[in-house]
Structure 1
Amino acid sequence: MERLEALRLVAAQALHGELVFPTGLDVSLTLLRALDDPDCHVDHAVRLVKGDPLLAARVVAVANASIYCRPGQQTADLRQAVARIGLRTTRTLAVAIATRRLAGTPQSPRLREAANRLWAHTSEVAALAQVIARRVSHVDPETAFFAGVVHEIGGFYLISRAADMPTLLDGDPGDWTEDNEAIVGRAILARLDIPPTVCAAIEAMWEGLRSLPPASLGDTLLLADELALTPSPLYTTDATRTADSAPQIDAVVNERTLSEILAESAGEVAELAAALRQ
């Protein structure tokens, strides 16, 4: 099967709700449904998180990042970590685990590398989006963080399907920007009940619509995606950018420049992205 034919087939299946999720994702989805309960108490959330060691480690790592933690207040206690970051961020981290698991556990080194690079890109975009929201666009930082986590969710699904359709990752990476990936992405976002505001921001990112300085959630997400030093492997053949080769995007923000603000926040971005990759 040719590459574009395979891509169209996966998109057509997604359009009709025929999504094939990898083994292991059910655990994450069950946890997400439990955390979605408006009556979910912190103690109950902690018990749920303990059942997923990877999520528990990530919650503690993020709670110890400087964005959430003052110097000298690091903790190894899961309950304290959940209480510190809150249930919204805990749920975002559960979604992050589900997103990464959506790629499955590829046996092919090529697919493993694609999944790892896509997660590195996703982690950086999520961290950048949180910082840009907090310091520049002044949209809700936790929503921006969440949007960054799920903005490539369709790509992880396509990587999982490439195990059965090896040609799916062949050819020009630019093929992934076609409407087919948007169809897959919309289907998965709907299946996971992603909030409409986040879906709209991702749609704006797909369309490449943003203003400078960023003012909306969509602006924030697209700017974070463009500034990430680790680009998505689905859109470029370059493994990484360098600070010199990254897009030069700047704007005046309250008598300061965007580049100055982001330079000051570089440590926070790196630390939060690393915690997501924990």
Structure 2
Amino acid sequence: MSAQAQFLSDLLQELDQGRFELPTLPEVALKVRDAVSSGTCTAKQTASMIATDAALSARLIQVVNSPLYRASKPIDNLPMAVSRLGNSMVRNLVTSLVMKQMFQATTDFLDRRLRALWEHNVQVAAISRMLATQFTRLPPDQAMLAGLLHDVGALPILKRAEDSPQLLGDMITLDRLIDEHHPRIGEKILAAWEFPPALVAVAAHHEDLKRDPGTEPDLVDVVIVANLQSYFGTNHRHSQVDWSQIPAFRRLGISTDVSVVEVEAHEEQIQAVQRMFDI
């Protein structure tokens, strides 16, 4: 058995047997999510939890004063920021803002790959937020989080690949492994993190371009379209897809008569999201 085949066999076996070491979500995000989900947490209590992380607190205040949220007057403290946004939105934003911690590298190889993956995820997140705002009734910040999370299944594959010198020397095979298996791994990660089914579905099905459940547009539709948009003009295999054959476009009510979704009118919003994540 080749090194690549052995890598894949071990990976899938560990997944099936529940022995695969999944990444963990930062503690502050877990606390805020669980408290807000309980329905009994006040804005003051949420702010107190976030305040244990000074960097996160500063980022949240920066975000609430950004063009995305257009506060009527500057907000300079955390309780006001949480009150302005509301617990539900803060929950999504906190998870989004701490996600970058998951992309920390220990080697130059991993740093390059994780940096590229993070930048792609942020681009998809920014487009997803815009699409949700313009074409759906879905919460824009949940759509943004969905975009950030859609490729989370690539993380453990990349980190495991560092221990396989032969695989590191064969980027084509490594990329194929990621393309084929990151949805399944991402689904397991988000399920282990106890994310809502709508977000778990994004990780599991965003590569299923023929998906057509026949219901109202959902987060998977948004991320499918945003992901395809992000690859427009590149040499990625998704850049060759015929958008008119993708049900997600129809379900969102987006015309495929043009080869790119019109984003110029929303460029400020997209750039604001990218700045939020230091891109």
TM-score computed with the length of structure 1 as normaliser: 0.77
Corresponding residue for 2:275? 274
Instruction: Classify the secondary structure of the residue corresponding to 1:265.
Output: helix
Corresponding residue for 2:230? 228
- 1:53 pairs with 2:54: yes
> CA, structure 1 residues 63+17, in 2 after alignment: closer, same or farther (shift >3 Å)?
farther
Q: How does 1:8-87 map to 2 (within 5 A)?
A: 8-21=9-22, 25-26=26-27, 28-70=29-71, 73-87=73-87
Corresponding residue for 2:199? 198
Task: Give the percent of matched residue pairs that are identical in Structure 1 and Structure 2.
Answer: 21
Q: Map Cα deviations across residues 182-220 of structure 1 (whole Å, 9 max, x no partner).
A: 331121011011211222244331212368xx9432221
Give me the whole-angstrom Cα distance separating, in 1, the residues matched to 2:258 and 2:68: 21
Q: 2:177 aligns with which of 170, 175, 179?
A: 175
Corresponding residue for 1:242? none
Q: Post-superposition shift, 1:154? A: 1.0
The answer on whether the counterparts of 1:62 and 1:276 sit within 8 Å (CA) in structure 2 is: no
Instruction: Classify the secondary structure of the residue corresponding to 1:68.
Output: coil
> 2:148 is aligned with what amino acid?
V
> CA, structure 1 residues 4+223, in 2 after alignment: closer, same or farther (shift >3 Å)?
farther
The answer on whether the counterparts of 1:88 and 1:142 sit within 8 Å (CA) in structure 2 is: no
Q: Post-superposition shift, 1:113? A: 1.7
Corresponding residue for 2:140? 141
Q: Post-superposition shift, 1:130? A: 1.2
Q: How many residues align?
A: 263
Corresponding residue for 2:130? 131
> CA, structure 1 residues 42+168, in 2 after alignment: closer, same or farther (shift >3 Å)?
farther
Deviates more, 1:147-156 or 1:222-231: 222-231
Give me the whole-angstrom Cα distance separating, in 2, the residues matched to 1:108 and 1:155: 16
The answer on whether the counterparts of 2:28 and 2:49 sit within 8 Å (CA) in structure 1 is: no
> CA, structure 1 residues 64+159, in 2 after alignment: closer, same or farther (shift >3 Å)?
farther
> CA, structure 1 residues 63+19, in 2 after alignment: closer, same or farther (shift >3 Å)?
farther
Q: Post-superposition shift, 1:117? A: 1.7
Q: Post-superposition shift, 1:224? A: 0.8
Give me the whole-angstrom Cα distance separating, in 2, the residues matched to 1:25 and 1:165: 27
Deviates more, 1:125-134 or 1:46-55: 46-55
Instruction: Classify the secondary structure of the residue corresponding to 1:36.
Output: helix
> CA, structure 1 residues 64+187, in 2 after alignment: closer, same or farther (shift >3 Å)?
same
> 1:216 is aligned with what amino acid?
D
The answer on whether the counterparts of 1:55 and 1:97 sit within 8 Å (CA) in structure 2 is: yes
Q: Map Cα deviations across residues 45-98 of structure 1 (whole Å, 9 max, x no partner).
A: 11111112332233223212222115x734332222222222223222332355
Q: Post-superposition shift, 1:10? A: 2.7
Give me the whole-angstrom Cα distance separating, in 2, the residues matched to 1:5 and 1:129: 36
Instruction: Classify the secondary structure of the residue corresponding to 1:39.
Output: coil
Structure 2 stretches lacking a partner, 5+ long: none
Give me the whole-angstrom Cα distance separating, in 1, the residues matched to 2:28 and 2:161: 22
The answer on whether the counterparts of 1:35 and 1:91 sit within 8 Å (CA) in structure 2 is: yes
Give me the whole-angstrom Cα distance separating, in 2, the residues matched to 1:108 and 1:17: 27
The answer on whether the counterparts of 2:22 and 2:189 sit within 8 Å (CA) in structure 1 is: no
Taking CA–CA contacts closer than 8 Å with sequence separation of 6 or more, which of the two structures ends up with the larger relative contact order? 1
> 2:133 is aligned with what amino acid?
R
> CA, structure 1 residues 215+51, in 2 after alignment: closer, same or farther (shift >3 Å)?
same
Q: Map Cα deviations across residues 18-51 of structure 1 (whole Å, 9 max, x no partner).
A: 2425688455444543443321211111111111
Larger radius of gyration: 2
Deviates more, 1:90-99 or 1:217-226: 90-99
TM-score computed with the length of structure 2 as normaliser: 0.77
The answer on whether the counterparts of 2:143 and 2:222 sit within 8 Å (CA) in structure 1 is: yes
The answer on whether the counterparts of 1:121 and 1:231 sit within 8 Å (CA) in structure 2 is: no
Cα RMSD of the aligned pairs, angstroms, is 3.6
Give me the whole-angstrom Cα distance separating, in 1, the residues matched to 2:240 and 2:55: 32
Corresponding residue for 2:219? 217
The answer on whether the counterparts of 2:151 and 2:183 sit within 8 Å (CA) in structure 1 is: no
Q: Post-superposition shift, 1:276? A: 2.7
Q: Post-superposition shift, 1:227? A: 1.5
Structure 1 stretches lacking a partner, 5+ long: 238-244
